[in-house]
Structure 1
């Protein structure tokens, strides 16, 4: 059981267990030893639902990343492909199976599990290549809402906005509605649903239609949620463009939190003696899991970063005083009580050391003049100051070849705050960015590739 999902106003562990049950049922259909071939994008979100220990219980012996060519050798009876419904992935799967047939290895059963939806287009692509008949099971795994923390669920549909508003593809809205219906099946029917925006209206209508289709089959569960508020992203385009200033937000802003894990520079986490000697310092990033199962993180994650220092200081004094209590333990009972509390105290001390190191890393960034200048520009834009002309900070950032994503966020923020950019301002920014790219290519030399430029601009 996931500790961080087992408390709070809503016990989201029920949602996680429902997803695990569906997975177990599919794995049991594929009798015998198994190897899973992963669409690499899915491994992170999937790890929040089922760890390797659960897969191993159901005879999963090997796991590989989906790549072109031959699947690495494995003495298993079943090969299961866990993939998103993407046509390009079907071509890779087809290549894998052809390589398997060429090597004339032991006979195997092939299966596909689509996440989150089965795709007729993908099946048609395999059929056109004459390979659909080789699959024993082709099913879907409805991993719509993934519980990240006691108060956070996500669909991890990073392209949803682009699909809905640029490509006019509203397929994702069905997944949203289905995920919310799953939520109601587990936690009771939500009495009131409100929404703002066209997509919100479509999702609400889909939910009503699904409710009518399943009328009479719903279980009578006392509702846990009082209201559901659906908001289209285009209702508030400004928030995701602004720099996050909470503790958790700044960790994500600077180091990127991926599936509740973050990789941090190792130097701040080395023991003091090792750090002072300058020897044997590990070059491996420090990987930490961040969720509210950790008491200290739950307390400081949503605080403004400026308020974090005082909390850490108080915590340090409290832990220090708790360890000093060992000197006051005279009787066997008092010593026994102290020893019983020791694991929790040591975990708290480790947590404090980690978050103190993270705070120091963040402070090095937030105390810089560059960070302050960027915040100043954002505040000016949101106050309506100088939004209708070329901004000198953006101009300097382009000239200094700052990461392109940072430049575009500021340009987009200026556009939103000004209700669109003047054509001459937009043309100027485009010209400057293109010229900076050309200059970069000239500096790097004639052998530069577009991938090199992307890497420089952090656009991958």
Structure 2
């Protein structure tokens, strides 16, 4: 899997983007006349990946509002109000509050109110709306908007399902697997022939079984197929390797996600971004990191980022020197080329300054923050066996200082998963200190991690892999090793459902890797280094990291 995007990978992104736009615009165009969109805030950023404001105007969208702005009525003349919300009871509650506030204005409302639920308007959600008769009488229609997969980068796609492991293991909510199967079914319908399905793990096997049943559905057999040649769908459980997200990622993109945190669409918000006039940033600014320099840096170990930035600075300096000495231009074509090169050089210089500021911030955290330095040291010592199965003094110190409980639990879970459980004495010491320091409220989080198998007393030891990966400074994620082994032996130890019409392997063939429960950006970097026989696209229920995983467990 190459780091740089290939034409095929861009085509994959375009395939998914076009499919999403067709679904969205088709739904909007079915409503004749001017429309106002009212968004649930959590969907605004993801839908920017589907359609921008200019494209929406072409489909008669005259205004957009936030669902939280209760009682607002657009002054622009329009016929339809379309509410776009997620498939949660929280979103339904917000919608009811919004419609109630409009009803309280007591004006003659002859507009049609339509509700689009992303990705699915379940029976339970529809019934919840019907319970309020006054609100139900205002609504003209309630429909599903089955947009399930969002392009994050040219070779990475996300379902934006952050809580999948917690919902599966704590709530026994197996509808999460059906959502994953539906998303993969959407993707395979973009291929001219059915791909092979290969799976590893219990969740993956259930998803594969669901996809096979969907294939036999008479309503889908005549579905229009696309031209994206997907030959294999490889489904793997996050929970065959819950250890890796507990480690701090050491790649440039991974460390950004750990320390600054990417938004759902890969955007980054920080107050240290330099301005175009050369001055330093002083207010929070959001940037989309999809430039050429980020593509070069994202999979590098953080210690190698500085060298790459210095090299890029040299390239920009040389380009500006060449442009300064550019010969006189006689034709209009030459002037256009010159102007384009000047603009590109200035943009590259500005992006270099952006990434220099980010790298300085990351290195400041890794090198100068004593706590962060110690975290990285202790994590590596745990997986190298330095502490064995005894209580780690640094973890004790963190609890004495009442440090962030999620960070403490991340280290305890890492030690537990590395050794296949904690000795009773070690487990008892950690639990006693945790309860004494954080009280009953945070102890509930400990219990949830225990129920999910992240913290537990001693069990038979899990065999450790001893290969080296720069993404984690010497540790190879188990999930990656499973996939690497599958590639090397042609998936012989993976459960496989072969395609009834064998896919044609060619230079544009694509293998989809789907990770149920989330994948880290450092693991994506590892996958890009594996030599697959075809182009590879990574799809996951979400992009995760240890702190995000524990936060999702807390909220479930």
Question: When the two structures are superposed, what TM-score results if normalisation uses the length of structure 1?
Answer: 0.85
Q: Is 1:330 the counterpart of 2:327 in the alignment? A: yes
Structure 2 SS opposite 1:269:
coil
Q: Which has the higher relative contact order, 1 or 2, with Cα contacts under 8 A spaced 6 or more apart?
A: 2
Q: Is 1:361 the counterpart of 2:367 in the alignment? A: no
Query: 1:454: which partner in 2?
Result: none
- Comparing 323-332 with 343-352, greater Cα deviation is found at 323-332
Correspondence list, 1:154-303, <5 A? 154-214=158-218, 216-217=221-222, 224-258=229-263, 259-266=265-272, 269=274, 274=279, 283-291=282-290, 294-303=291-300
2-structure distance, mates of 1:210, 1:196: 20
Relative distance call for 1:36 and 1:434 in structure 2 (3 A) is: farther
Structure 1 SS opposite 2:348:
helix
1-structure distance, mates of 2:155, 2:21: 20
Relative distance call for 1:6 and 1:409 in structure 2 (3 A) is: same
1-structure distance, mates of 2:55, 2:410: 41
Query: 2:128: which partner in 1?
Result: 125
- Comparing 189-198 with 304-313, greater Cα deviation is found at 189-198
Unaligned runs of 5+ in 1: 276-281, 439-456
Query: 2:349: which partner in 1?
Result: 349
Q: Does the CA-based 8 Å contact 2:250-2:302 persist in structure 1?
A: yes
Structure 1 SS opposite 2:316:
helix
1-structure distance, mates of 2:129, 2:324: 72
- Comparing 184-193 with 308-317, greater Cα deviation is found at 184-193
Q: Does the CA-based 8 Å contact 2:399-2:408 persist in structure 1?
A: yes
Q: Does the CA-based 8 Å contact 1:269-1:286 persist in structure 2?
A: no
Relative distance call for 1:10 and 1:331 in structure 2 (3 A) is: closer
2-structure distance, mates of 1:54, 1:327: 39
Q: Does the CA-based 8 Å contact 2:23-2:147 persist in structure 1?
A: no
Relative distance call for 1:412 and 1:71 in structure 2 (3 A) is: farther
Q: Does the CA-based 8 Å contact 2:190-2:227 persist in structure 1?
A: no
Query: 2:112: which partner in 1?
Result: 109
Q: Does the CA-based 8 Å contact 1:188-1:223 persist in structure 2?
A: yes
Q: Does the CA-based 8 Å contact 2:15-2:228 persist in structure 1?
A: no
Q: Is 1:315 the counterpart of 2:312 in the alignment? A: yes
Relative distance call for 1:395 and 1:83 in structure 2 (3 A) is: same
* 1:302 CA drift (Å): 0.8
- Comparing 310-319 with 367-376, greater Cα deviation is found at 367-376
Relative distance call for 1:216 and 1:351 in structure 2 (3 A) is: same
Relative distance call for 1:410 and 1:239 in structure 2 (3 A) is: same
Counterpart of 1:136 (choices 135, 140, 151) is 140
Q: Does the CA-based 8 Å contact 1:185-1:218 persist in structure 2?
A: yes
Q: Does the CA-based 8 Å contact 1:123-1:132 persist in structure 2?
A: no
- Comparing 257-266 with 59-68, greater Cα deviation is found at 59-68
Relative distance call for 1:73 and 1:407 in structure 2 (3 A) is: same
Q: Is 1:46 the counterpart of 2:51 in the alignment? A: no
Q: Deviations over 1:116-162 (max 9, x none)?
A: 11111111112122133432121111111111111100001011111
Correspondence list, 1:419-438, <5 A? 419-437=420-438
Query: 1:36: which partner in 2?
Result: 37
Query: 1:449: which partner in 2?
Result: none
Query: 1:396: which partner in 2?
Result: 397
2-structure distance, mates of 1:37, 1:221: 32
1-structure distance, mates of 2:46, 2:358: 24
Structure 1 SS opposite 2:216:
helix
Q: Deviations over 1:63-108 (max 9, x none)?
A: 3332385345545432222112222332332232233222222322
Q: Does the CA-based 8 Å contact 1:246-1:302 persist in structure 2?
A: yes
Q: Does the CA-based 8 Å contact 1:90-1:126 persist in structure 2?
A: yes
2-structure distance, mates of 1:332, 1:97: 63
2-structure distance, mates of 1:332, 1:68: 55
Q: Does the CA-based 8 Å contact 2:416-2:422 persist in structure 1?
A: yes
| Structure with a larger share of its residues in helix | 1
* 1:219 CA drift (Å): 5.1
* 1:222 CA drift (Å): 6.0
| Number of matched pairs | 433
Q: Deviations over 1:403-423 (max 9, x none)?
A: 332222112111211222344
Unaligned runs of 5+ in 2: 440-549
1-structure distance, mates of 2:231, 2:28: 36
Structure 1 SS opposite 2:396:
helix
Structure 2 SS opposite 1:79:
strand
* 1:316 CA drift (Å): 1.1
Relative distance call for 1:331 and 1:99 in structure 2 (3 A) is: closer
- Comparing 50-59 with 205-214, greater Cα deviation is found at 50-59
Structure 1 SS opposite 2:37:
strand
Question: When the two structures are superposed, what TM-score results if normalisation uses the length of structure 2?
Answer: 0.71
